[in-house]
Amino acid sequence: MSGSRIYQIYYSEQTRAEVDADFLPLDNLANERPDWREYWPIRRFLASQQLEADCYYGFFSPRFRQKTGLTGAAVHEFVQRHGGAPDVISFSPFFDQMAYPLNIVELAAVRHGCADTFSQCAALVAPAFRLDQSVMSSLDTVYCNYFVAKPRFWAEWLRACEQIFDTAEQALTPLGEALNRMVMYETASAPAKVFIIERIASLLLWSQRHWQVKSFNPLKLPPLSAKFAAMVSVPTLLVLDSLKIAYVRTGVEEYLGAYRQLREAAMTRQNTNQTQMPRSSHGR
């Protein structure tokens, strides 16, 4: 059975105190490059440490428990049960945002309003990727970098991330400048490059089909938006996801057509419900 070394990043005394006892603490107190968020300490670790070939490594943010509801003990138990053959084991939440969008990059383009930036970066990592055509599902979508993997996947992940890193650091092109622009998320903001890095694992799994993946059931983890999940039922999300999986596996266009039709109907219902919501229900 393969072992695992799963780290939780801390960047303050408070987040150090909150590190799960079953994870290894990863020190980012110096926080030399806060503009890169969690990528900076992960990059530093991968560049400086010798990894064991059959060991699973993971690097989780301080909000892992908040976003997934999972303890470190539950993560280790899942890895112990399912580790070995998989290259990647995902603990990604947000099934609603795996099933509903065509792909994880489409979602980012909508949420952060920088479709060109995301499309160009996706093409660097996965040249065949097209924002309005490429289909992803729960089988190859990872949010928040909540995954553990063997060193061979981390090496590929770092190689892809460094393309984005170099482009942003040099800032010699319009894309490099765009990667450093601040974009909104929730009620805060961060450079666009941060959200690109969070999508690298998904792009690799989509474009390099030889990777073996095992996922913790995302339906047992929280959705991204409780309000959205209340408007689009779980059965509808399951059908949307299943239609995308069927299309990818068979190439039969009717599956993709049915997905688009069902999503359009769900979108229409969602917009209608939002219009009918009382004004006091917003902003809380």
* 199-258 pLDDT tens trace: 999 999 999 999 999 999 999 999 988 888 778 999 999 999 999 999 999 999 999 999
User: Measured between alpha carbons, how far is 23 from 129 in angstroms, rounded to an integer?
Assistant: 35
DSSP 151: H
Collapse the DSSP code of 284 into the 3-class scheme (helix H, G, I; strand E, B; otherwise coil) and give the result: coil
**Residue type (1 letter), 208:** Q
Does residue 143 share a domain with residue 68? Answer: yes
The residue-averaged pLDDT of 126-139 equals 96
Does residue 211 share a domain with residue 230? Answer: no
User: Measured between alpha carbons, how far is 275 from 262 in angstroms, rounded to an integer?
Assistant: 20
pLDDT at 274: 56
Does residue 154 share a domain with residue 87? Answer: yes
- Tell me which of 180, 204, 224 is where a domain ends: 224
Residue matched to tokens 């553990």: 148
pLDDT band at 188 (very low <50, low <70, confident <90, very high): confident
Does residue 173 share a domain with residue 53? Answer: yes
Does residue 193 share a domain with residue 266? Answer: no
Does residue 154 share a domain with residue 77? Answer: yes
Residue-wise burial string across 3-25, b where 16 or more C-beta atoms lie within 10 A, e elsewhere:
ebebbbbbbeeebbeebbeebee
Collapse the DSSP code of 191 into the 3-class scheme (helix H, G, I; strand E, B; otherwise coil) and give the result: strand
pTM of the entire predicted model: 0.92
pLDDT at 73: 98
pLDDT at 259: 98
Spatial strand order in the sheet of 147-149: 24-27, 4-10, 56-60, 147-149, 88-90, 213-215
Does residue 211 share a domain with residue 74? Answer: yes
Q: What's the chain's length in residues?
A: 284
Condensed to tens digits (0 to 9), the pLDDT of residues 62-88 reads 999 999 999 999 999 999 999 999 999
- Tell me which of 172, 202, 224 is where a domain ends: 224
Does residue 239 share a domain with residue 216? Answer: no
Domain of residue 259, residue span: 225-284
User: Measured between alpha carbons, how far is 46 from 28 in angstroms, rounded to an integer?
Assistant: 14
**Looking at the 3D structure of the chain, how many domains does it have?**
2
Pick from 119, 157, 143: which is nearest to 42 by CA? 157
Does residue 87 share a domain with residue 9? Answer: yes
pLDDT at 272: 67
Does residue 37 share a domain with residue 170? Answer: yes
pLDDT of 282 above 60:
no
- Tell me which of 205, 224, 243 is where a domain ends: 224
pLDDT over 90 percentage in the chain: 84
Most distant pair of Cα atoms in the chain: their distance: 57
Structural tokens at position 86:
């998989």
Does residue 250 share a domain with residue 145? Answer: no
Does residue 70 share a domain with residue 52? Answer: yes
Residue-wise burial string across 124-157, b where 16 or more C-beta atoms lie within 10 A, e elsewhere:
bbbeebebeebbbbbbbbbbbbbbbbbbebbebb
pLDDT at 150: 98
pLDDT of 111 above 80:
no
User: Measured between alpha carbons, how far is 234 from 219 in angstroms, rounded to an integer?
Assistant: 9
